[in-house]
Structure 1
Amino acid sequence: MAEILPESEALPRAVDLLGAGAVVAIPTETVYGLAADATNGEAVARIYEAKGRPRFNPLIAHVADLAMAERIAVFDPLARKLAAAFWPGPLTMVLPHRADSGIHPLVTAGLDTIALRWPRGFGARVIAALGRPVAAPSANTSGRISATTAAAVMADLGPRIPLVVDGGPTPVGLESTILKVEEGRLTLLRPGGVAAADIERVAGTSLARGAKAIEAPGMMASHYAPEAQMRLNAQSVGEGEALLAFGPHRAAGADRALAVRNLSERGDLREAAANLFSHLLALDRSGAATIAAEPVPLEGLGEAINDRLARAAAPRNT
């Protein structure tokens, strides 16, 4: 079973384990990440093994500063502008990969691009102390609900990893926005913790959507899925269903729900994003065969929330 250490005490132990090729669950501002040295193929393979993750799904390489990022990928002026506005923070950019970066091919899953993010807080500190980038997908079994607390990581991955760093609940509670930057063009590959409108405002250009291939993490049709089935945009609740609510007004029959969790009583999308995975996990543990999800607006962070709910409701990979 994993050792669990508070963030204030964990840095030396985490660096030692990462340097030895182990995987470590670390807090970031988005969700907890399962980190390994991105230059060490065996270490990266341990991420896949711990998560049961398909090998065609690439990983995000996390860096400690812009200089480290520019040793790994080619930044055009637009990418630098976005980095200046949103890094460190919950934005991942997919950029041309430098062949001499030292990043192991398992991280990129054979692509000639690489997904890069500079996180805040403990993530950046541990990478700086290690002196190398880390690959760090969400710290959960592949395709399941992402962890926003150390307790959730322990319950899922505790027997498979040596250390969980406890930094408390993650403040964003939703994975990073993934944006492909290519010759001055922007393509939204995954909505997330930075709203598309904020990116467009800084970039001065609109985002394209609709990538046809898996170019970044979180693009599989079925992802973030609970064991229970999901029913979206529910206007009523069936007998024995659990209810994922939003806002002050309830779906018809909410009083007969097996369990209820409200993403935000006041209809605040930032609060809803932070609560999404923990509430899904709580409802999944209620014993309900189906979770009915009330409608969530599509604007702002609602786009990312609806993306996660749609993937949770998609036909499951077998």
Structure 2
Amino acid sequence: MSTLFDCGDEAQLLAGMRHARQAIARGELIVLPTDTVYGVAADAFTPAAVQRLLEAKGRGRNQPPPVLVAGQSALQALVEEVPEPVQRLVDAFWPGGLTIVLPAQPSLSWDLGDTLGTVAVRMPDQRVALELLEETGPLAVSSANLTGRDAAVTAEGAQNMLGDSVAVYLDGGPSRTGVASTIIDATSLVRRGADAAQEPRVRVLREGAISWERLHDILGDLLEEQEGPKDSADGAA
């Protein structure tokens, strides 16, 4: 039986954070507020927990979840390299609504699904999420919804979709924006070998909280031209 905690009440917040940490340690799922939409989270380094997350949403391994982190040092530990243009993006938009795909650190022992050697990373701009991440370490987090349905912008909305597949719901009130993060692919800035012959460019995989224009202000011609709206809310929180 899952439990919902009101993070606006100090006593419930403390209890909820404790139960959330314990659930993550047991390999269970939690729902937490972020600055974009609500996310469903699991320990990124427990493969069975990540698989449980995918099953709860009705997704396969070909749709691996992004990873939320508490700061830039965690990003550097998870990816092979942070290219200078990516560092500029991080300085401009983190914490905030930008998810960045880069080649994953090869030495990591985890299984997020069929990632093709990459990982999508974001630092959220939300106090409860950041405090929890500081204590648990990186979490695999996808938008709190069933695949094909809109991402939840309230804890109750997430609970109505995910039910008892989630152990703990942390209720931080309505999502601040209700707009999912923008996802960019920066892997070509790092790729070597045969891929190195291609011109390095950053691609927008999904436009959300951070507009193409704001990204272009930072990256200039490194950013691929827009091809049209890419605005699915079913994925990264």
Normalization by structure 2: what TM-score? Answer: 0.85
Q: Is the 8 A contact 2:36 2:180 kept in 1?
A: yes
2:59 paired with 1:53: yes
Give the stretch that moved more between structures: 181-190 or 138-147.
181-190
Correspondences of 1:132-281 after superposition (within 5 Å): 132-181=137-186, 182-183=188-189, 185-205=201-221, 207-208=223-224
Q: Is the 8 A contact 2:185 2:202 kept in 1?
A: yes
Tell me the CA shift for residue 20 of structure 1. Answer: 1.4
The 3 A distance-change label for structure 1 pair 209 and 142 is: farther
Give the letter aligned to residue 208 of structure 2: G
Q: Is the 8 A contact 1:64 1:128 kept in 2?
A: yes
Q: Is the 8 A contact 2:43 2:140 kept in 1?
A: yes
- Tell me the SS of whatever aligns to 1:185: coil
The 3 A distance-change label for structure 1 pair 308 and 40 is: closer
Structure showing greater Rg = 1
Q: Is the 8 A contact 2:29 2:165 kept in 1?
A: no
Partners of 1:174 and 1:54 in 2: CA distance: 24
2:83 paired with 1:76: yes
Q: Is the 8 A contact 1:31 1:170 kept in 2?
A: yes
Instruction: Work out which of the residue numbers 111, 118, 133 in structure 2 matches 1:113.
Output: 118
The 3 A distance-change label for structure 1 pair 209 and 115 is: farther
Give the letter aligned to residue 139 of structure 1: A
Percent identity at matched positions? 32
Instruction: Work out which of the residue numbers 9, 16, 24 in structure 2 matches 1:18.
Output: 24
2:3 paired with 1:3: yes
Partners of 1:108 and 1:190 in 2: CA distance: 20
Unpaired segments ≥5 residues, structure 2: 190-199
Provide the residue aligned with 1:41 in structure 2. 47
Q: Is the 8 A contact 1:189 1:209 kept in 2?
A: no
- Tell me the SS of whatever aligns to 2:129: helix
Give the letter aligned to residue 93 of structure 2: F
Unpaired segments ≥5 residues, structure 1: 212-297, 312-318
Instruction: Work out which of the residue numbers 122, 125, 132 in structure 1 matches 2:131.
Output: 125
- Tell me the SS of whatever aligns to 1:188: strand
Q: Is the 8 A contact 2:27 2:49 kept in 1?
A: yes
Partners of 1:24 and 1:3 in 2: CA distance: 10
Partners of 1:123 and 1:5 in 2: CA distance: 14
Give structure 1 regions of 4+ aligned residues with deviation exceeding 3 angstroms. none
Give the letter aligned to residue 134 of structure 1: L
- Tell me the SS of whatever aligns to 1:79: helix
Q: Is the 8 A contact 2:56 2:162 kept in 1?
A: yes
Return the structure number with greater relative CO, CA threshold 8 A, min gap 6: 2
Two-structure CA RMSD over aligned residues (Å): 2.0
Q: Is the 8 A contact 1:108 1:114 kept in 2?
A: no
Q: Is the 8 A contact 1:38 1:44 kept in 2?
A: yes
- Tell me the SS of whatever aligns to 2:42: strand
Partners of 2:98 and 2:182 in 1: CA distance: 5
Tell me the CA shift for residue 13 of structure 1. Answer: 1.4
Question: How many matched pairs?
Answer: 215
Tell me the CA shift for residue 210 of structure 1. Answer: 7.8
Q: Is the 8 A contact 1:94 1:114 kept in 2?
A: yes
